[in-house]
Amino acid sequence: MKNVKERKLYSLKEITRQLGGEVVGDGLVDIEQVATLDQATPRQITFLASQKYRKLLADTRAAAVIVGRDDAQSTALPRIVCDDPYVYFARVSALLNPPQLPPAGIHPSAVISPDAKIAASASVDALTVVGKNVSIGAGCVIGAGCVIGDNVTLGAGSKLYPRVVIYADCVIGARAILHSGCVIGADGFGLAMVGETGNGHWLKIPQIGRAVLGDDVEIGANTTVDRGALGDTVIEDGVKIDNQVQVAHNVRIGAHTAIAGCVGIAGSATIGRYCKIGGAASILGHLEIADHADISAGTLITKSITEAGVYTGVYPFAPHAAWLKNSVHLRHLHELAQRLKQLEKKLLDKSGNRS
């Protein structure tokens, strides 16, 4: 990463010239980095995207602020007024922090199959292994210690951080980002019990499908995407998956869905487009999730979701003693419901109408 002295400075006018928005105040203020309201220093730009942080605006030391149109007059600091401050902040951050690309070429310690096709503009770092008939597109960056199996296709502009593993025959689209430790195309958990349960043994079912990732997909560190048992596991364009997520065999995830850390998705589940799945949620196998469904953190999905909306199923935490008492009542909920029905029936029999 470049140090502060080497950073390119952008004035507010230059930023809006490239990204749009309206400057209010001194447009010649120079910006070198982004920061939060409470941590910003002079020559940094911050943003106000949520009203719960408004109290920090008066004391920020930032050189400038990104605000929405409703907050255009909320500060005397130089500011950029836009429709969506959070999205605008993301674009400013990308402008101020461009990726540092390594030089093209293949490190001498990399082990490359003679028939692999690697674009001249790609970079392959130390101790990487590239298998037979692999195709690596223009501008790809392969970090140290990656293993790319036979017949893998890696689209142009993709980046693999160190120690990514892609099993044979998988397809990765253009501009993918695969973080360290993620594994694409490992065997799904396909087993058949031979003999009686408890007295037999498991027979492994060969997993002969692939894992196929579309364009602009990002996969977090130590996330696993299993290959299909027969057909393919498919991650469509623009999907963003956080760290330590398990995607089982034959899952399909629709375009532009975002999945937070520690989610588990069982085999053959189908998740729609533009869904948002909170951390540690679990989705059982062979279910279908509609487009635009939002699943809250920690929710267990046990049946298909057919309509867009927000779905939550989290048992609330409480002091342990209170939780134990509540769990006892929950265990007897069906019994209590039956007793309530009996009481209602008795009241109806006595009065002829409900009380």
Q: Please report the pLDDT score of residue 86 as a whole number.
A: 97
Structure tokens at 267: 């085999």
Phi, psi of 17 (to 5 degrees): -65, -35
Q: How far is CA 242 from the centre of its chain?
A: 4
pLDDT at 307 over 80: yes
In angstroms, the CA 127 to CA 83 distance is 47
Catalytic-residue membership of 249: yes
Identify the CA nearest to 310 among candidates 286, 275, 283, 279: 275
pLDDT at 161 over 90: yes
Contact predicate 284/269, CB 8 Å: yes
Sequence-distant (6+) residues with CB within 8 A of 117 are 134, 135, 136
Sequence-distant (6+) residues with CB within 8 A of 291 are 254, 272, 273, 274, 275, 308
Exposed/middle/buried for 226, CB within 10 Å: 0-12, 13-18, 19+? buried
Angle (CA) 299-303-309 rounded to 5° is 60
Structure tokens at 301: 């999905």
The model carries a pTM of: 0.90
Give start and end residues of each alpha helix (H) in 68-222: 85-96
For 309-327, write each residue's pLDDT tens digit. 999 998 888 999 998 998 8
For 259-304, write each residue's pLDDT tens digit. 999 999 999 999 999 999 999 999 999 999 999 999 999 999 999 9
Contact predicate 236/214, CB 8 Å: yes
In the set 107, 179, 201, 249, the catalytic residue is: 249
For 247-256, write each residue's pLDDT tens digit. 999 999 999 9
Sequence-distant (6+) residues with CB within 8 A of 205 are 190, 191, 192, 229
For 2-50, write each residue's pLDDT tens digit. 444 467 899 999 999 999 999 999 999 999 999 999 999 999 999 999 9
Map residue 2 onto helix, strand or coil: coil
